[in-house]
Amino acid sequence: MRIYPYLRASTNEQDANRAIGSIERFASEQGIKLSKAFIENESGATLQRPQLFQLLDTAERGDVILLEQIDRLSRLTDNDWQKLKGIIQEKGIGIVSLDLPTSWTLLKPQASDDFTRSILNAVNGMLLDMLAAVARKDYEDRRRRQAEGIHRAKSNGLYRGRTEDTAKQERVAKLLDNGLSWREIIETIGCSRGLVAKVAKQNKGRS
CA–CA gap between residue 87 and residue 93 (Å, rounded): 9
Our CA angle for 7, 12, 13, nearest 5°, is 65
% pLDDT > 90, the chain: 14
**pLDDT of res. 111:** 45
Predicted confidence (pLDDT) per residue in 66-91, tens digit: 998 877 776 677 788 888 888 888 88
0.95 surpassed by pTM: no
Q: What is the mean pLDDT of residues 186-201?
A: 85
Domain spans in the chain, listed from the N-terminal domain onward: 3-137, 166-206
CA–CA gap between residue 63 and residue 54 (Å, rounded): 14
103 is catalytic: no
Predicted confidence (pLDDT) per residue in 131-181, tens digit: 666 666 666 666 677 776 776 777 776 655 555 577 788 888 888 888 888
Pick the catalytic residue from 10, 28, 112, 118: 10
Higher pLDDT, 147 or 30: 30
Structural class in CATH, domain 3-137: alpha beta
- 136-151 burial string, b = 16+ CB within 10 Å, else e? beebeeeeeeeeeeee
Beta strand pairing call for 3-8 and 94-97: unpaired
The alpha-carbon radius of gyration of the chain (Å, integer) is 20
CA–CA gap between residue 8 and residue 19 (Å, rounded): 9
Average pLDDT score, the chain: 77
